[in-house]
Amino acid sequence: MGQRDDRLGDGRVLHAVTPYGRGGASSRVRVFEWLERTATPSVVHSYASLSNASTMSLMRRPTAVLAAELALRRTVRSRPTHLLLHRESSPLSRRSLERRLLISAQFAVYDFDDALQCDHGEGGLLRRWAPKSTKALLAVGLADRVIAGNSVLADWASNYNDDVTIIPSCVDPSRYSCKEDFRVQDPPRLGWIGSSSEEKQLRWISRALDELHSRTGARLLLVGRSANGLGDLERMVDRVAWSEDAQHTLLATMDVGLMPLVDEPMERGKCGYKLLQYGAAGVPMVGSPVGVNARILADCGASAPQAVSDWADAVVSVLDAPETARRRLGHRARAMVQEQYSFAVWLDRWERAVGVQSAAK
């Protein structure tokens, strides 16, 4: 790639391109929250400020979609000095727009936090038309630098780019209400946070959840946007709509936070964000040891059942543990997140990675 100065000098602006607005979890965590913490001037090009890029969402906002497409092309013509491209520029692009953006910038960084290389377009018409795998491969190869959310993603990206750095998805523990009462509620409150597309992970352990409800009367608090049903599990489910305030306050009301994951290529690339949120709230957790989850769970001293048949016993063991033991688990998880996955710990490295740190710093 040759010699280049990747530092953002005086009078220059970082252009961040992201497929979602702040309501989209990956864009909020990987772009918006970093920019809030740096003094560097920046402009965010979020695609129509949508929280997701489903076909229905795009069809409902044709004017906003057209404006977003035109804005991206203006960004290409402006030839930004520094560009941060997160995941993809447009859900309608089939690589050409990502190519033009990356080539137009003097210094271009590509950031991704999911195994997009495994997303070959299964699903609806739009996903088949513009699969993320081809865009991710192109972007990793063209970018001056790649930021990967974990070692699984970094190992793949390193096959196509010599400048790959790992920046995990981070949390701000100071914004989360911290669990103080570790007595198990009656009935016990299990918890999960996520989008409707991820609820399939709960269906994967549905038999274990059903057994937990029968054995302990446990209920499942779901914090998310979903209106989808979970079949027979709905008898034990309490749903609360997601908001930034809700995610910062509700997690501390859970007795145990859950993060089941099927052991498949896409899931191995996830960044364990649910576990980090539970940890930020000081909540004991149980999760599948898939990908980076294995390390997070081990560092928290948390239970990590591999088979569905082990899930019910793993959760019951946390519920039946002495209150002091659950308190230790919660405090250990929060301390681990503060030390290893907080924005404050990683800010300098993120600024260096995207080239916005001043020469004097």
Task: Answer yes or no: do 91 and 238 share one domain.
Answer: no
Same domain, yes or no: 280 and 315: yes
Give the H or E element holding residue 190.
strand 189-193
Closest CA to 152 of 311, 32, 263, 303: 263
Share of the chain above pLDDT 90, in %: 79
- Coil, strand, or helix at residue 325? helix
Residue 164 has what pLDDT?
Answer: 98
β-strands 189-193, 219-224 pairing: parallel
Whether 6 maps to a domain, the answer reads no
- 28 vs 128, which has greater pLDDT? 28
Say if 31 falls within a structural domain. Answer: yes
Q: Residue 142 falls within a domain, yes or no? A: yes
Average pLDDT over residues 302-329: 97
Residue 132: band (very low, low, confident or very high) from pLDDT cuts 50, 70, 90? very high
DSSP 185: P
Q: Give whole-number Cα distances, 61 to 67, 279, 281, in Å.
A: 10, 37, 36
Is a pLDDT exceeding 80 seen at residue 127? no
What pLDDT shows up at residue 138? 97
Q: What is the mean pLDDT of the chain?
A: 92
178 and 166 together in one domain: no
Query: Residue 278: its pLDDT value, please?
Result: 98
Is residue 9 one of the residues assigned to a domain?
no
Give residue 226's pLDDT: 67
Residue 66: both structure tokens together: 């057209």
Note whether residue 63 is domain-resident: yes
Q: Reply yes or no on whether the pLDDT at 326 is more than 60.
A: yes
Give the CATH number, domain containing residue 295. 3.40.50.2000
Do residues 244 and 157 share a domain?
Answer: no
Across the range 334-355, mean pLDDT stands at 97
| More confident call, 78 vs 227 | 78
Dump the DSSP string for 44-66.
EEEGGG-S---HHHHHT-HHHHH
Q: 3-state class of 147 per DSSP?
A: strand
| Judgement on whether residues 79 and 187 belong to the same structural domain of the protein | no
Q: How far is CA 189 from CA 47, 103, 314, 319, in A?
A: 37, 50, 15, 10
Task: Pick the closest to residue 1 from 142, 164, 98, 165 (CA basis).
Answer: 142
Indicate if 31 and 164 belong to the same structural domain: yes
258 shares a domain with 333 = yes
Q: 180 and 165, same structural domain? A: no
Position 196 scores a pLDDT of: 81
- When pLDDT is cut at 50, 70 and 90, the band that residue 228 belongs to is low
Please determine, for residue 39, whether its predicted confidence score (pLDDT) is greater than 70. yes
Q: Of 141-150, 243-252, 318-327, where does mean pLDDT reach its minimum?
A: 243-252
**Cα–Cα distance between 251 and 194 in angstroms, integer?**
12
The DSSP result for 93-127, as a single string, is -SSHHHHHHHHHSSEEEEEE-S-GGG----SSHHH
pLDDT at 1 (0 to 100): 38
Residue 198 clears pLDDT 70, i.e. is over it: yes
**What is the rounded average pLDDT of the residues 120-144?**
86
Residue 221 lies in a domain: yes
Q: What is the number of structural domains in the chain?
A: 2
State the pLDDT at residue 197: 80
Please check the confidence at residue 17 and state whether its pLDDT lies above 70.
Answer: yes
Residues 25 and 132 in one domain: yes
DSSP state of 171: B
Looking up residue 163, the CATH number of its domain turns out to be: 3.40.50
Q: 123 falls in which pLDDT band (50, 70, 90)?
A: low
Domain co-membership, 157 together with 239: no
The amino acid present at 54, given as its one-letter code, is S
Residue 4 lies in a domain: no
- The conformational region for residue 29 under phi > 0 = left, psi -120 to 50 = alpha, else beta, is alpha
Res 169 pLDDT > 90? yes
Residue 8, domain member (yes or no): no
In which band, very low, low, confident or very high, does the pLDDT at 10 lie, cut at 50, 70 and 90? very low
In b/e form, how buried is each residue of 145-180, taking b as 16+ CB within 10 angstroms? bbbbbbebbbebbeebbeebbbbbbbbbbeebeebe
Range of the domain at 194: 173-340
Q: Which residues pair with 95 in a beta bridge?
A: none
Which pLDDT belongs to residue 6?
60
Residues 330 and 288 in one domain: yes
Sheet holding 164-166, edge to edge: 42-46, 14-18, 82-86, 107-112, 145-148, 164-166
Do 26 and 142 fall within a single domain?
yes
